[in-house]
Amino acid sequence: MSITGFTAAGFEPVREAFERNFAEGLEHGASFAAFAGDELIVDLRGGFADRAGEQPWTDSTLCPVYSATKPIGALVIATLVERGKLDYDAPVADYWPEFAANGKGAFTVAEALSHQAGVPGFPDPIDPALWLDPPALSEALAQLKPMWGRGEGSGYHPLTWGYIAGELVRRVSKRSLGTILREDICQPLGIDFWIGLPESEHDRVAQLLKPKAAAQFPYKNEATRAAFLTPWAAANRGATEWRKAEIPSANGHGTAAALARLYSAYALKGRIGETRVIAPVTWDELTRERVSGEDRVLPGRVAFGAGVMRNLPLIYGPNPATLCHSGWGGSGAFGDPDTGLSGGYIMNRQGTHLLEDDRRSRLIDALYGCL
């Protein structure tokens, strides 16, 4: 199995861990990248981008990162908070009046972005194709009755989070969330990451190998059922229309280096390279803990800022202050303000765990072991 890329001097154990994942048959195609401050210290890739094992994974191979997209969408929201277009403490309904239906009028922007709004999915059937029409899906979402009350904790919103975020942006800006990300952050900084992937880029996307077993959910309650376990809980993920749609909760596409670079905004308190994306005070508001404890959907204790997870279970290295997020199948990324480290892991052989992935953990442990 061909491994390409590089590690900076002193970070060779990361390459050894990456190679071991392949040697043990855990990977088909994958990439891992990390920054220390502004320096790219790891950029590795290996295996194949196609299921047949004929197309090598290259530095331009894109991969969907699923829920690791959320903190990137949250970063865009933070830019609008900084400009006075949105207020974390204002009710969502101040910007989107229809969202107040059925008792949701008091939920704030920060509460919705920290998975507290009580609408993790649709309990009753919808046409799954509705997920590919964000305005229509948002209209249906606004009419839902919350499954729990304000101040009663979190229940992870795997897809609906992105439609709340996207609709908030649509209500206060002439540009969509994906457009703002592209025009204000990714294009100027040369970051190969997209929310809403143009069809011209689809040939670069890795083909996924779906897991042979179903994901393991800790609960079989109403919230988990609506979030994940109904036939209408998602559209056809991976189809052309899915890639093209802007779904800030689930369909970001990028390289590992691009993912790590965007998460450096979490490691460097709002800065990516020499560009300040948000001020430190806005970073504080974005990342501070909004809710913690037992989640209704995810396993164990979790903690959320306004769209980003805090490293409460210490999945992403040893520092509790690290900001992070996992994606369906095993992808994930983190930014550690204590060390200035950020990293991103993408792959096309999907696993079944919701938060942890042994392959990713092995790489992150090796990275911290080099410090």
Is 154 in the active site? no
Exactly one of 2, 31, 67, 173 is catalytic; name it: 67
In a 13 Å sphere around the CA of 77, the CA atoms on its Cβ side amount to 33
Q: How far apart are CA 187 and CA 189, in angstroms?
A: 5
Q: What is the 3-class SS of the chain, one letter each residue?
A: CCEEEEECCCCHHHHHHHHHHHHCCCCCEEEEEEEECCEEEEEEEEEECCCCCCCECCCCCEEEEEHHHHHHHHHHHHHHHHCCCCCCCCEHHHCCHHHHHHHCCCCEHHHHHCCCCCCCCCCCCCCHHHHHCHHHHHHHHHCCCCCCCCCCCCCCCCCHHHHHHHHHHHHHCCCCHHHHHHHHHHHHHCCCEEECCCHHHHHHECCCECCCCCCCCCCCCHHHHHHHHCCCCCCCCCCHHHHHCCCCCCCEEECHHHHHHHHHHHHCCCEECCEECCCHHHHHHHHCCCEEEECCCCCCEEEECCCCEECCCCCCCCCCCCEEEECCCCCEEEEECCCCEEEEEEECECCCCCCCCHHHHHHHHHHHHCC
Strands of the sheet with 193-195, listed across from one edge? 63-66, 252-254, 193-195
Q: Residue 167, Cβ neighbours under 10 Å: how many?
A: 23
Looking at the annotation, which residues are catalytic? 67
